[in-house]
DNA sequence: CGTAACTTTGAGTAACATCAAGTGGCGTGG
DNA sequence: CCACGCCACTTGATGTTACTCAAAGTTACG
């Protein structure tokens, strides 16, 4: 199996239904026959941690559905400043942009599995699958709302509010509710969080330390977090 | 179409087809019969400068198409901090969100004319108008790309870069190309620009003054701007 | 012509960035 | 198994940008 330097792997030995893995994600809105048609234009793709699904500026030939793992979307300025525009988790669509090139890069934070669709075929198929089109429109709309929320974070919130807001959002998406609060396994580095929140890695650290000292969060290793009370953390988010 | 400088349109006097005014905007993707069906669920709405189309949190009962004038989308934090998430100009859609309530407020910067659609009827109608649905999806996708661009502005750019970037975007949308550079009639206040760029009104002023002193821009009254050379302004945007 | 709202300018400050040093976890190789 | 080194993370000291507060100047409008 050929693995290039970006860690991309197109599985050549795919089963009869390469998109089996993502059926669960899309399956709710399509019946078996429709899924079959979709599978016809789908290819299973896996990424190693750090691998690249596509780079900002690449021809947007493909659409992706994230099946497992987590991705980071980011944009770069010419001098190297980076803005992470979002983190993606299973079920999220990727590459919906209608422009000819991807407006951001997509890289794997952890090992990830994706379902890849030829863009033109996918769009053509939408015409015959109104429920899928509705689903995609709903996803785009939700993404837009999330982007607007994040504009508020970046434009108007303090460092502590930014971190609290982002932690709450991550908890909602990938947190595990336990008997005593919530547990969170961060898939991204402090630098990723910094580029997502518009801060520096140092400020992210200091802010986490401060929250830790106040008992709002507790750490379990570098990437593990425990949040005893979500409502307390929410109190730091600026949203209440 | 007769549109004066403030964005005020002639009164819509053809009662039978309330959406005549916005035919031009949507007309490209629909034929006459389809437009007729669309008109059936449309209502013409006008706003005075400062008027409200809807407020953040209102039930999202309607979709709008901006026909003339300009709007401001904004979100508020409980303590009054405000983030302007976008400025809208003729042809833009408004309220695409699929959530039950609007995620932001929409207010008129100038007198404005809108075409209002009952949300449920509009969505139902999409099923029979695949070209319109495609159009809406494309609009949503473009809006998403713009939001991502603005995340980069808010998260990683300096004050000067933010102002330069925003001015360039406004020029592209509502600027008039003259023999010697570009002319721009800003429909929004310094405070609006501040809340859009994540700065304060004072910083916006200082930054404009600085660009003026450097000859990058020239002022014509409070809201009028002249940009002799767009490439020079672009040099301050951080994007090159 | 007067008033209110908006804009501009100035001085001081606070929040976060930058620069720099030190710590800790983890994989590798001895 | 332990020493080593790397890299991410953390912490500290200093610097800079943009914010805050204040006041004066403009513009719009009755």
Do B162 and B143 lie in a common domain?
Answer: no
Q: Residues 130-189 of B near strand D (Cβ < 7 Å)?
A: 158-160
pLDDT at B18: 55
Which comes out higher in pLDDT, residue B191 or B15?
B191
Do A72 and A141 lie in a common domain?
Answer: yes
Q: Which residues of B touch A81 (CB under 8 A)?
A: 156-157, 238
Q: Check if B149 contacts A (Cβ < 8 Å).
A: yes
Q: Which residues of chain A have pLDDT under 50?
A: 1-7, 9-16
pLDDT at B103: 96
User: Domain for residue A24, yes or no?
Assistant: yes
The answer to whether B191 CB sits below 7 Å from nucleic acid chain C is yes
In this predicted model, what pLDDT tens digit does every residue of B31-60 receive, in sequence order? 777 777 778 888 889 999 999 999 999 999
User: Domain for residue A207, yes or no?
Assistant: yes
Do A132 and A178 lie in a common domain?
Answer: no
Angle, vertex CA B16, rays to CA B10 and CA B19, nearest 5: 55
Is there a contact between B74 and B83 (Cβ–Cβ < 8 Å)? yes
> CA-CA distance, B167 to A101, in Å (whole number)?
24
User: Domain for residue B185, yes or no?
Assistant: yes
Do A68 and A163 lie in a common domain?
Answer: no
Considering CB atoms only, which of A81, A140, A145 is closest to B137?
Answer: A140
Do B32 and B119 lie in a common domain?
Answer: yes
CB burial string A193-206: b at 16+ within 10 A, e below = bbbbbbbeeebbee
CB-side exposure of A160: number of CA atoms within 13 Å? 13
Joined tokens for residue A183? 């547990």
Q: Which residues of B touch A132 (CB under 8 A)?
A: none
User: Domain for residue A240, yes or no?
Assistant: no
Give the N- to C-terminal CA distance of chain B in Å, as an integer. 37
Q: Flag if B78 and A239 touch (Cβ within 8 Å).
A: yes
Residue numbers of B between 2 and 61 with CB closer than 8 Å to A = none
Do A111 and A127 lie in a common domain?
Answer: yes
Do B122 and B46 lie in a common domain?
Answer: yes
Q: Check if B78 contacts A (Cβ < 8 Å).
A: yes
What does DSSP say about strands A42-47 and A8-10: parallel, antiparallel, or unpaired?
A: antiparallel
Mean pLDDT in chain B? Answer: 88
User: Domain for residue B84, yes or no?
Assistant: yes
> CA-CA distance, B29 to B132, in Å (whole number)?
6
- Which CATH number goes with the domain that contains A171? 1.10.10.10
User: Domain for residue B189, yes or no?
Assistant: yes
User: Domain for residue B47, yes or no?
Assistant: yes
CB burial string B201-217: b at 16+ within 10 A, e below = eebbeebbeebeeeebb
Q: Flag if B144 and A148 touch (Cβ within 8 Å).
A: no
Distance from residue B150's CA to nucleotide C28's C1', rounded to whole Å: 44
Do A132 and A167 lie in a common domain?
Answer: no
Domain final position from B154, B182, B205: B154
Sign of CA dihedral A157, B71, B168, B219: negative
pLDDT at B34: 76
pLDDT at A46: 92
pLDDT at B60: 95
Strand C nucleotides, any atom under 7 Å to a protein CB:
6-11, 15-20, 25-26
Q: Is B172 helix (H, G, I), strand (E, B) or coil?
A: helix
Domain that holds residue B126: 2-154
Domain final position from B154, B170, B190: B154
Domain final position from A133, A154, A175: A154
Do B186 and B78 lie in a common domain?
Answer: no
pLDDT at B24: 61
> CA-CA distance, A51 to A64, in Å (whole number)?
15
Joined tokens for residue A49? 């941690």
In this predicted model, what pLDDT tens digit does every residue of B3-32 receive, in sequence order? 333 333 334 444 445 566 566 666 667 777
Is there a contact between A95 and A85 (Cβ–Cβ < 8 Å)? no
Considering CB atoms only, which of B77, B97, B145 is closest to A145?
Answer: B97
CB burial string A30-68: b at 16+ within 10 A, e below = beeebbeebbebbbbbbbbeebbbbeeebebebbbbbbb
Hey, which bits of chain B come out as E strands?
42-47, 52-54, 62-68, 71-76, 82-88, 93-94, 105-108, 112-118, 176-178, 181-185, 218-220, 224-227
Do A117 and A214 lie in a common domain?
Answer: no
- Which CATH number goes with the domain that contains A149? 2.60.120.10
pLDDT at A21: 58
Q: Check if A83 contacts B (Cβ < 8 Å).
A: yes
> CA-CA distance, B73 to B83, in Å (whole number)?
9
SS3 content of chain B, % helix, strand, coil (to 5): 40, 25, 35
Considering CB atoms only, which of B85, B127, B152 is closest to A148?
Answer: B85
Q: Check if B77 contacts A (Cβ < 8 Å).
A: yes
> CA-CA distance, B21 to B26, in Å (whole number)?
10
Which comes out higher in pLDDT, residue B152 or B34?
B152
In this predicted model, what pLDDT tens digit does every residue of B115-142 receive, in sequence order? 999 999 988 888 888 888 888 888 899 9
- Tracing tokens 């198409």 back to the chain, one arrives at B65
Do A83 and A20 lie in a common domain?
Answer: yes
What is residue A238's DSSP assignment? S
Do A139 and A212 lie in a common domain?
Answer: no
Query: What is the number of structural domains in chain A?
Result: 2
């Amino acid at each position: 199996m050929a693995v290039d330097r970006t860690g991309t792997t197109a599985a050549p030995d795919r089963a009869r239904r390469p998109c089996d893995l993502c059926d669960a994600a899309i399956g709710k809105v399509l019946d078996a026959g429709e899924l079959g048609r979709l599978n016809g234009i789908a290819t299973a793709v896996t990424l190693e941690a750090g691998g690249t699904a596509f780079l900002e500026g690449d021809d947007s030939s493909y659409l992706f559905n994230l099946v497992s793992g987590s991705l980071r979307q980011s944009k770069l300025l010419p001098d190297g400043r980076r803005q992470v525009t979002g983190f993606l988790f299973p079920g999220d669509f990727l590459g919906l942009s209608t422009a000819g090139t991807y407006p951001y890069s997509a890289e794997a934070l952890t090992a990830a599995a994706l379902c890849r669709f030829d863009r033109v075929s996918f769009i053509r198929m939408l015409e015959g699958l109104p429920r899928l089109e509705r689903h995609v429109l709903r996803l785009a709309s939700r993404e837009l709302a999330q982007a607007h929320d994040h504009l508020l974070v970046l434009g108007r919130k303090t460092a502590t509010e930014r971190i609290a807001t982002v932690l709450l959002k991550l908890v909602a998406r990938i947190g595990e509710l336990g008997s005593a609060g919530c547990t969170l396994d961060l898939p991204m580095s402090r630098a990723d969080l910094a580029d997502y929140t518009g801060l520096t890695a140092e400020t992210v650290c200091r802010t986490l330390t401060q929250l830790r000292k106040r008992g709002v969060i507790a750490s379990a290793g570098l990437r593990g977090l425990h949040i005893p009370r979500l409502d307390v953390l929410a109190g730091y988010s600026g949203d209440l």
